[in-house]
Structure 1
Amino acid sequence: MQSKATIPVNVGVVLDSNTWIGKLSLSCIEMALSDLYASHPHYKTRLIINVKDSKSEVMDAALAAQDLIRSKEVKAMIGPQNSRQANLVIEVGHKSHVPIISFSATSPSLTSPQIHSPYFFRVAQNDASQVQAVSAIIQAFEWNQLVLIYSQGIYEEELIPFMARTLQEGNVQIPYQIAIPTLATDQIISQELYKLRLMSNRVFVVHVSPQLGSRIFFIARELGMMSQGYAWIITTKMSNQLQIWNSSVTDSMQGVLGVSSYFPRTKELDDFELRWKMKFQQANPSMIWAQMNVLGLWAYDATTALAMAIEKVEFESLGISQSHLRETLSKIKLNGLAGDFSFVNGDTNLSSYKIINLIGNSERVVGYWTPQNGLKRNMETTYSFTSKNNLGTIIWPGDCFSAPKGYDELANKKELTVGVPLLRNGFDELILVQHEDPTNNTNVRGYCIDVFLLAMRSLPYNVSIEFIPYYKRSDHYSPGIYYDDLLHETYLGKVDAVVGDITITAKRSSYVDFTLPFTESGAVFIVPTTIAKNKTKVWIFLRPLTWQLWLTTGCFFLFIAFVVWVLEHQGNREFNGSTSKQVSTSIWFSFSTLVFAQTNLTTQLTVQQLRPTVTNVYQLLQNGDSVGYHFGSYAYDFLRQLGFDDSKLKVYHNAQECDTLFTIGSQNGGISAAFDEITYIKIIMASYCSKYTIMGPTYRSEGFAFAFRRGSPLAAEVSRAILNLTELNRDMMIRIEEKWFKNESNCPQPSNYDDNSNNSLDLDGFRGLFMVAGLASSSALIIHAAVFLYCQKRRVFIQFIGSNVSLLLKNVRAIFKSFYQKDHESFPDSQNDREQISSNSNEITVA
């Protein structure tokens, strides 16, 4: 029963009530008030806590704080639990002049000069204060490089600049950092850790939440990264909450070092833990594993400090002055369960840490760090040192007692094992595996190898590679199974990747991860070419045009010759003379215009000399022809799907074998066509130029790619590298192609052949030309005739209209005879010409 002499003071508490830390903190807050007032019965004030659940959400925490200030008129607030929530709650408290005291928000920015509120106080240690302790451990073991692993997020990443700057001051380099999303999938975590596994660095500093950290270490153990030679150091973000983990988590963290907040073991602390455990288990009977940690101690001390400050505040008629309460809190000094502390600019002065080693299901303290003395074996030691020899015995990952070197320059030589196909005997331009005597070393070279090595060298880290030839042979396998078996080696974990002329297929994608293709995609048939022979070579010149086009051209040839004669014979000496001369001149002029001025049709006779022996796939099937394909290619299954029988499928290993099969022919056990990837086809055609040509359409194929183990991060990394090479660094790819492939530019480029195409030019293609030529010629003829009849023979033409039939025919003959003669008035060469003109005029009969 509360005494009438005491004054109740409302205080808000914002927690994530359903979390382990929320339950732990609330129980400690309640015990702090109970213990304080029991030991100080004379206090006139009594804190009344008003709890609000923030539901682990940022906005819910801010709304809870506002509600407590408005509805409960709280004079101060304890909480919230994390830095993201604290940022908004601090703003709410600052605007309302309500002090906020935190026991678990550790972000450095919360008390930075830029955004610091004078109403915010933090009993928890600032994350930035531990970087010196981490740096001291790194220097003690003389590690000069490490990798930082941290949670992705604004507040989670704030420690990293402090850490990097402090480590660099100690000549420690950070060549690589990994930011992992809090809700990252196991696959993403595995990919990121696999990158680290391929590096030579073996020291990792982990700054993540306990939930994410437990998954990271579990996967690290699965990848073999919790073995001898590795060193792992966790920050207080994980180490301060080790008590909430079960044995399955700690089993995967054996040998890990941690920097943990230090608090002294005292009789008062032991007594408190005993009482707290009994009370907590009564309230939470299902949590029999619960243990106290430093966050509960800070919650206890924060509540005690707030209650003592409120008791010291002067009382006025209007109640407690909140500005006075803020000033009183800033001056408070307390001998708390977590140690003696006071506030400096809102932060506690607690800055000592213990160095722990996780062994079994518990932590073992191997040393301490303080700002005054640095690393030391016991807290009572008053001198400082940085030597690892003065720390306690550390059991490292892999149950090793010797400290890791921090790097492994030889580890990568066998880290990335790459399988390559050995059973090839051909297309050495792509990949060739040889054994060098007497060393028996494996020499791997070729286009695929050069592209792969170029892509790997472009990665932001070094990867050592060991090529392993695949030896497996079988007397009973269908071609293509060999490559499938090689790819299956990655699924079995025997190799990490496969490099070679490997085609992407849906079936193979079910057990490997392919990169983007690095070659041109598509597959085609090739067939031999033959010189087209006509039975009557005498008439081969007629082949460029169809007979309809030849006929129409002949008609226009004669018509244009007539038009030219009409227009020219009277005024051009070349078109005069005897009748035979005029006819031959007109015909020759028309012929020379149509023929000698046009030279672009000559290629019709040469281009079509080389023709495919087979024009389509259906012809191959109907004829029962055999088809060849490259050993190991996916083409075998594809040809089966097209309808080819096994007996009609012939395998070849190289361009020479393919040529031999073509030479033998289907009737003698050879082939009539070959089906292959475009890359193989280019090599064959570059070797034999116009001897073969492409038949029919290009079939869809994804091209060649590199294969990696499922889930390997290198698949995506190398894909990006290939994309950069093909788009941004094309010159390098061209140089590699020129190095390994013959130049096809010196060979005639065969064209695809369509069975339905007509190689002769037809009338439709020239219909417009004939229309224009005919219209122009006819118009010129009509105009010339009109001018001749009207201008030169006007009087005769008038009489000509009224003549009878006999006179009409006579006058027509006279007009044509006059027209036939050359124009002597324009070209009077002699007296005879003038007499001839007069004579012609007198012959016209007038009615």
Structure 2
Amino acid sequence: MGNQKRFLWFIFIVLFSPGIEPSTTKEVIRVPVGVVLNLNSSVGAMAEKCMTMALHDFYAKHAHYQTRLSLLTRDSKNDVVSAAFEAMHLINIENVSAIIGPQSSAEAKFVIELGRRNHVPIISFSATSPSLSPSHSSFFIRTGFSDSAQVEAIAAIVGAYSKWLEVVLIYEDTEYGNSLIPYLVDAFQKVGARVPHRSVIPPHYNDTEILKELNRLNSTRGRIFLVHMTASLGSKLFLSASKAGMMTEGYGWIVTEGLSTLLDPVGSRTMDSMQGVVGVRPYIPMSKELEDFVLRMKRFRFRKSSKITGVNLFGLWAYDTVWALAMAVEKVGTASRVDLASLGTGDRGQNLLDAILDSEFEGLSGNFRLVKGQLEASTFEVFNVIGGKERIIGYWNQKKGLSRKLNGAAELDKRKTLEKPIWPGYTTDIPPTKKLRIGVPLKKGFYEFLKFENNNISGFSAEIFFAAEKKLPFSLSYEFSAFAGTYDDLLYQIHLQKYDAVVGDTTIIANRSLYVDFTLPYSESGVSMIVLTEDSERNSVWIFLKPLSLGLWLTTGVAFIFTGFVIWLLEHRENTEFRGPPQQQLGMIFWFSFSTLVFAHREKVVNNWSRFVLIIWVFVVLILTQSYTASLASMLTVQKLQPAFTDIKEIQRNGYKVGYQNSSFIKGFLMEHLNFDETQLVPLVTIQDYHNALSRGNKNRVAAILDEVPYLKLILKKKCSKYTMVGPTYKTDGFGFAFQSGSSLVSYLSSAILNVTQDKNQMDKLQSTYFDYFDNQPACEDQSAKISSEGPSLGVYSFGGLFIIAGVVSMVALSMYMYHFLCSHWPALRTISSSESRFWEKLVEVAKHFDKKDLTSHQFKRRESRVHALDTPDEGLAAAPGANDMQNNSAGTHIIVENNLGHE
């Protein structure tokens, strides 16, 4: 009876079992496929079970296929060498057509190389490390998501909470953990966050070592942590974090998909310690097939294993991988119409690889489609661990970013993109980063720029900081702390991480930028020098010479002499007032030209060319005298201040003392760049110290003070009648705020400073603030009108045109006169030139000829007519008594006149 029951049961299985074909079915082709997994892990056990079910389900649905996969499973024992050995055995001994696995990224790295050399496709659903790229190995296929696919979703979460400017990374020291970090850092930088600290935890760390590392992180200012680990190490981490008190209010934790129960289930104890954690994981669309699969997984087991607690994403990917491989094997076998085993290894592997890459179907995990050799990432869901469960609070995809609903529209307000998560400590308040520790220089002077009092700051630098802070897209939490020391020492405290930032009138210079980052400058730049001014012009006995420069004095003198000489040449032969002894004529040349300076000349000119020259010259003299008078009047009525020193090298050469602002970088600048000796330098603190140091009679008097332009302008505003800014301006970049190197606040605050300067309303407020601190001082007269380092002397260039016109007119008149002279006396001159005398003798003869009176001139003809009138007797007097006597007298007079004319 029992045998009959067994026989009937066998017949039932043969006829109705979908996995077994009747004996009449055509013989199928068995295709060996290797499987390398860590069977002692929950992921490995789950994957093996899912692949077995996948084979059963696939061929139940495709019973007519001529090919059948034969899975040869091997245990890697979580060892790289074992995984490589098993893969090599499967390729060389079992002659497998493909290998599914290995499970970890470290194991897959070696097996992928074996597949490339032997042209055997290596298909991994769990080696998610971005360092393993199908584009780098032609025979590697990833049927899961790369870890890098989730970084944008994680960065979007960080960006949604704008207070999170710093995120601490905690990851395991494996291929899986290390390879994702560069992608995370780059993604955080795009949303304005930075990674100030990292913690690398090896897989072999025990609870004590993990707790020690967590206490170290807790001592920093980091309060937002991102954990990238597998479930085995992550479970120990969160249990230790709970013991360290880091799972309480004020802390924020984010996990990658590796710590989601959808990928690798963790125990209930671990879930209890992860309360308030936020994470991302791939979104799996629910379908009827998936629901049926989950139910069957609970009832149907091929192998008992305590490690299998439910269905995870790796199991679904393993299931879909078997389906894709079975479809590809059938496609290659049908196309070749021969047994796959008869194909060459290279052809078989390449054809199978191409067929897998072309596969596309709707699997349990969603749409199965390979892009560039790996499963195309689609949507991620954001979960929040609360009450021992993962509550979905939002979604992320490439097109819309974060949103509360799966198909909801993208929210413009970042605060509404996710449902409010419950953070550690069972609070909905967003965990903030620690307060910024801002160092402030403790100044004893120049309070207009910065003043620290009662833990508050004021002054121009403070107003700039507060105005820029209001422009930030988030609220900034900070506390001020005074520092008594040099500015360089204060900035170095940032490098030592005792301060997070420095707010004050800190100058941006190159050597400081080596250990801190500065914002954009908010003040004008440069280092210059102020010196005492002196009024030296009005007390000078030679002030009357100041209006004209030395060159103009000499040029004017030469012009006077030249003009007098030209007038003498034009008048000498015709005008008796320009004749006489040589010394008389020489004096006439100087007298006549210089007398025109005050228009006091009394000599008449008879030549028209002389009159023409004299008209132009009088105009020149008029311009010169008026200019001289105006300049001299200005010197005598307006105070002219001159700097006591204008050259820093002169001060250094003479060993004079130089002042500088105490605690600033100017001391090092003077010693290193300008080569001053330290004994020449005098530290100053307040504006009154500056005034005392520059005052006469002070035993510590300095020749000059070097400081930054904003400080010097403030001093000049108060004491502009006594000091002046001289010398070159040495380049600096102005004042800025300092932060730790790599701080994301630098870019935020720099943008805010730009926004402040470009906002008209804000600029009006800042200008008002600037007026309060700098311009709200007793008004001084225009100092630029008082200070003159070289005097306002008039130069030759200013009157060059006048002198050129006068010179040209004089030369033209003289040339025309000489031409007329040569033409009218050419017979006599030709006789002289044709003589055999020497040149100098001829020249003397010509000069003598020129020296003779021109009796044909109008003046001499008029005088001669008067003389002849005296020589002719009146007819009425001839018959009168004594007429002869009168005639004799007239003759005598005539003789006298002739004699006088002959001596002229």
Question: TM over 0.5, yes or no?
Answer: yes
Distance change in 2, residues 1:462/1:36 (3 Å): closer
Deviations 1:251-305 (A, max 9, x none): 9977414576587476668846767999xxxxxxxxxxx9984223332255358
- CA-CA distance at 1:502 after TM superposition: 1.4
Secondary structure of 1:580's match?
coil
Q: Is the 2:47–2:319 Cα contact (8 Å) retained in structure 1?
A: no
Secondary structure of 1:638's match?
helix
Q: Which residue of 1 aligns with 2:385?
A: 357
Instruction: Confirm whether residue 595 of structure 1 aligns to residue 625 of structure 2.
Output: yes
Q: Is the 1:616–1:696 Cα contact (8 Å) retained in structure 2?
A: yes
Q: How does 1:662-677 map to 2 (within 5 A)?
A: 662-663=694-695, 665=697, 668-677=699-708
Deviations 1:541-600 (A, max 9, x none): 2235555542332111232355578889999xx999996255997775552243336789
Q: Is the 1:13–1:78 Cα contact (8 Å) retained in structure 2?
A: no
Deviations 1:451-476 (A, max 9, x none): 1122222222232454x24165xxxx
Q: Which deviates further from its counterpart, 305-314 or 699-708?
A: 305-314
Q: Is the 2:519–2:750 Cα contact (8 Å) retained in structure 1?
A: yes
Distance change in 2, residues 1:230/1:719 (3 Å): same
Distance change in 2, residues 1:420/1:807 (3 Å): closer
- CA-CA distance at 1:530 after TM superposition: 1.0
Q: Which residue of 2 aligns with 1:632?
A: 663
Q: Is the 2:437–2:500 Cα contact (8 Å) retained in structure 1?
A: yes
- Decide which of 803, 816, 825 is 1:784's aligned counterpart: 816
Q: Is the 1:502–1:704 Cα contact (8 Å) retained in structure 2?
A: yes
Secondary structure of 2:322's match?
helix
- Decide which of 239, 252, 259 is 2:260's aligned counterpart: 239
Percent of aligned positions that are identical: 26
Q: Is the 2:641–2:788 Cα contact (8 Å) retained in structure 1?
A: no
Secondary structure of 1:711's match?
coil
The aligned length equals: 661
Q: Which residue of 2 aligns with 1:146?
A: none
- The one-letter code sitting in structure 1 at the alignment partner of 2:472 is L
Q: Is the 2:436–2:477 Cα contact (8 Å) retained in structure 1?
A: yes
Q: Which residue of 2 aligns with 1:653?
A: 685
Secondary structure of 1:451's match?
helix
Q: How many angstroms apart in 2 are the aligned matches of 1:41 and 1:784? A: 127
Distance change in 2, residues 1:462/1:269 (3 Å): farther
Q: How many angstroms apart in 2 are the aligned matches of 1:427 and 1:45? A: 92
Q: Is the 1:546–1:762 Cα contact (8 Å) retained in structure 2?
A: yes
- The one-letter code sitting in structure 2 at the alignment partner of 1:674 is I
Q: Which residue of 1 aligns with 2:450?
A: 431
Q: How many angstroms apart in 2 are the aligned matches of 1:354 and 1:471? A: 45
Q: How many angstroms apart in 2 are the aligned matches of 1:405 and 1:179? A: 20
Distance change in 2, residues 1:495/1:699 (3 Å): same
- Decide which of 456, 463, 466 is 1:453's aligned counterpart: 466
- The one-letter code sitting in structure 2 at the alignment partner of 1:450 is E
Q: How many angstroms apart in 2 are the aligned matches of 1:660 and 1:351? A: 73
Q: Which residue of 1 aligns with 2:546?
A: 543
Secondary structure of 1:532's match?
coil
Secondary structure of 2:741's match?
coil
Q: Is the 2:129–2:146 Cα contact (8 Å) retained in structure 1?
A: yes
Q: Which residue of 1 aligns with 2:182?
A: 183
- The one-letter code sitting in structure 2 at the alignment partner of 1:595 is T
Distance change in 2, residues 1:461/1:640 (3 Å): same
Instruction: Confirm whether residue 738 of structure 1 aligns to residue 768 of structure 2.
Output: no
- CA-CA distance at 1:802 after TM superposition: 4.7
- The one-letter code sitting in structure 1 at the alignment partner of 2:29 is P
Distance change in 2, residues 1:231/1:720 (3 Å): closer
- The one-letter code sitting in structure 2 at the alignment partner of 1:423 is K
Q: How many angstroms apart in 1 are the aligned matches of 2:846 and 2:813? A: 22
Q: Is the 2:162–2:473 Cα contact (8 Å) retained in structure 1?
A: no
- Decide which of 523, 526, 540 is 1:522's aligned counterpart: 526
Q: How many angstroms apart in 1 are the aligned matches of 2:449 and 2:512? A: 20
Q: Which residue of 1 aligns with 2:838?
A: none
Q: Which residue of 2 aligns with 1:706?
A: 737
Instruction: Confirm whether residue 556 of structure 1 aligns to residue 559 of structure 2.
Output: yes
Secondary structure of 1:749's match?
helix
- The one-letter code sitting in structure 2 at the alignment partner of 1:554 is G
- The one-letter code sitting in structure 2 at the alignment partner of 1:513 is D
Q: Is the 2:421–2:428 Cα contact (8 Å) retained in structure 1?
A: no
Q: Is the 1:523–1:677 Cα contact (8 Å) retained in structure 2?
A: yes
Instruction: Confirm whether residue 501 of structure 1 aligns to residue 534 of structure 2.
Output: no
Deviations 1:355-374 (A, max 9, x none): 77399xxxx54679999xxx
Deviations 1:598-647 (A, max 9, x none): 78966995899422223433443454433222232112223344454555
Q: How does 1:783-822 map to 2 (within 5 A)?
A: 783-785=815-817, 788-789=820-821, 796-802=824-830, 812-813=850-851, 816=854, 821=859
Instruction: Confirm whether residue 45 of structure 1 aligns to residue 45 of structure 2.
Output: no
Secondary structure of 2:465's match?
helix
Q: How many angstroms apart in 1 are the aligned matches of 2:704 and 2:856? A: 72
- The one-letter code sitting in structure 2 at the alignment partner of 1:701 is T
Distance change in 2, residues 1:417/1:27 (3 Å): same
- The one-letter code sitting in structure 1 at the alignment partner of 2:782 is C
Q: How many angstroms apart in 2 are the aligned matches of 1:578 and 1:266? A: 134
Secondary structure of 1:702's match?
coil
Q: Which residue of 2 aligns with 1:747?
A: 782
Q: Is the 1:431–1:444 Cα contact (8 Å) retained in structure 2?
A: yes
- Decide which of 455, 466, 470 is 2:482's aligned counterpart: 470
List runs of 5+ in structure 1 lacking aligned partners: 58-63, 93-100, 108-126, 128-149, 165-172, 279-289, 372-393, 436-441, 473-480, 825-830, 837-843
Q: Which residue of 1 aligns with 2:719?
A: 688
Distance change in 2, residues 1:352/1:405 (3 Å): closer
Q: How many angstroms apart in 1 are the aligned matches of 2:262 and 2:847? A: 127
- CA-CA distance at 1:430 after TM superposition: 0.8
Q: How many angstroms apart in 2 are the aligned matches of 1:443 and 1:294? A: 55
Q: How does 1:223-372 map to 2 (within 5 A)?
A: 227-229=248-250, 239=260, 243=264, 255-258=276-279, 264=294, 271=301, 293-301=312-320, 303-304=322-323, 307=326, 357=385, 364-365=388-389
- Decide which of 483, 487, 493 is 2:491's aligned counterpart: 487
Q: Is the 1:695–1:753 Cα contact (8 Å) retained in structure 2?
A: no
Secondary structure of 1:499's match?
strand
Q: Report which of the two structures shows the higher radius of gyration computed on alpha carbons.
A: 2
- CA-CA distance at 1:677 after TM superposition: 1.0
Q: How many angstroms apart in 1 are the aligned matches of 2:816 and 2:603? A: 23
Q: Which residue of 1 aligns with 2:175?
A: none
Q: Is the 2:855–2:861 Cα contact (8 Å) retained in structure 1?
A: no
Q: CA RMSD in A?
A: 7.1
Secondary structure of 1:183's match?
helix
List runs of 5+ in structure 2 lacking aligned partners: 1-20, 70-95, 106-111, 168-179, 197-221, 340-354, 370-374, 396-419, 576-591, 833-841, 871-900
Q: Is the 2:640–2:786 Cα contact (8 Å) retained in structure 1?
A: no
Q: Which residue of 2 aligns with 1:416?
A: 436
- CA-CA distance at 1:405 after TM superposition: 1.9
Q: Which residue of 2 aligns with 1:147?
A: none
Q: How many angstroms apart in 1 are the aligned matches of 2:646 and 2:295? A: 92
Q: How many angstroms apart in 2 are the aligned matches of 1:21 and 1:419? A: 52
Q: How many angstroms apart in 1 are the aligned matches of 2:145 and 2:721? A: 77
Q: Which residue of 2 aligns with 1:169?
A: none
Secondary structure of 2:695's match?
helix
Deviations 1:329-387 (A, max 9, x none): 9999x9x8x8xx9999xx99x9999977399xxxx54679999xxxxxxxxxxxxxxxx
Q: How many angstroms apart in 1 are the aligned matches of 2:266 and 2:634? A: 84
Distance change in 2, residues 1:563/1:12 (3 Å): farther
Q: Is the 1:512–1:710 Cα contact (8 Å) retained in structure 2?
A: yes
Distance change in 2, residues 1:330/1:293 (3 Å): closer
Distance change in 2, residues 1:368/1:695 (3 Å): closer
Q: Which residue of 1 aligns with 2:603?
A: 580
Q: How many angstroms apart in 2 are the aligned matches of 1:352 and 1:502? A: 46
Q: Which deviates further from its counterpart, 615-624 or 265-274?
A: 265-274
Secondary structure of 1:705's match?
strand
